[in-house]
Amino acid sequence: MKSKKNEQKKEEIKTAIERVKMGEKAWTTTDKPKDSKKNLPIIKILAERKVEMVELDVDIPKATKNILIDIGMKYIVKDEKALLSYAFSKCIKDGLKFLKKK
């Protein structure tokens, strides 16, 4: 199996060399992943900040839970940073789970 991967790497390097000779970039990237149903453009991470957070397990009545969810939805929709952070984190976690299954 390692030899198959080595052969594949050698082929990729040969292809990269040919691209450079033709004046192109050695490694091409695509805005559309091959295995994804929903394609996203490439994302460049500009900065990283460590934040403290607490996750709670709560036992509350359904009506109270629904009220808190409604309040949270109203606030989160207006908070672009929180939405992006959640979506990015969720995509990474789901992507890692997908890769582990393969």
CA distance linking residue 48 with residue 86, whole number of Å:
14
The confidence score (pLDDT) of residue 85 equals 85
Q: What single-letter DSSP state applies at residue 35? A: T
In this prediction, residue 11 has a pLDDT band, given cuts at 50, 70 and 90, of confident
Tens of pLDDT, residues 12-69: 887 877 777 777 776 665 545 555 556 667 777 788 888 888 888 989 999 999 999 9
The confidence score (pLDDT) of residue 1 equals 57
Query: Average of pLDDT values for 69-93?
Result: 87
CA distance linking residue 91 with residue 88, whole number of Å:
5
Given a contact cutoff of 8 angstroms between Cβ atoms, the answer to whether 56 and 46 are in contact is no
The confidence score (pLDDT) of residue 38 equals 65
Amino acid sitting at position 92: I
- So where are the chain's domains? 1-30, 43-101
Given a contact cutoff of 8 angstroms between Cβ atoms, the answer to whether 19 and 26 are in contact is yes
* pTM confidence score: 0.43
The confidence score (pLDDT) of residue 26 equals 67
What are the Cα distances from residue 81, in Å, to 13, 51, 58?
39, 13, 25
CA distance linking residue 27 with residue 40, whole number of Å:
19
